[in-house]
Amino acid sequence: MSDEKTVKKKEKTISVVGKRKSAIARANARRGTGRITINGRPMEMFGTEMERMMISEPLALAGELAGQIDMDIVVRSGGEMGQADAIRQAIAKSFVGFDKKLKGKFISYDRALLVADVRRNEPHKPSRSKQGPRRHKQRSKR
């Protein structure tokens, strides 16, 4: 047996969650070449142009760091825009995990990049469930 031990240095991996409405995005980030995959496909193939622009906002704010981190993102449930917001939040949180100085920059740009929006749809009430949560029968004034 040799006295030398070969120990591999474990690379830093950060796992974060981004949420918006009912959409949940889980991101695993590690040092790399700046490759981002969403549900196993490159980011360029996700959604519409508007959604891709939303997702790329934290990448632009992070600057040089964006080219040094690989991310694998899995997003489930919710609608298209909710998923885009959840992905955007997961990307921003993982950048903050690598560089704490970015937190102030992200919050001053848009607080939703780091803090989940807790608003949800109000459930419909009984006896008027087709009309909505607060709708009442119209009343005549005269």
Phi-psi bin for 47: left (phi > 0), alpha (psi -120 to 50), beta? left
What is the pLDDT at residue 136?
A: 81
- Of 48, 122, 37, 140, which is closest to residue 87 (Cα–Cα)? 37
Domains of the chain, CATH where assigned: 13-113 (3.30.230.10)
On the CB side of 37, CA atoms within 13 Å amount to: 9
State the sign of the Cα–Cα–Cα–Cα dihedral 55, 60, 62, 64. positive
Residue 113 has pLDDT above 70, yes or no: yes
Share of the chain above pLDDT 90, in %: 51
CA-closest candidate to residue 70, choices 57, 61, 59: 59
Please tell me the least confidently modeled range out of 59-68, 108-117, 125-134: 125-134
Using the predicted structure, report yes or no on whether residue 47 has a pLDDT greater than 90. no
How does strand 13-20 pair with strand 41-42? unpaired
28 CB-side CA count, 13 A: 6
pLDDT digits (tens, 9 = 90+) for 30-41: 998 989 999 999
Tell me the one-letter amino acid at 118.
Answer: V
Q: Model pTM? A: 0.81
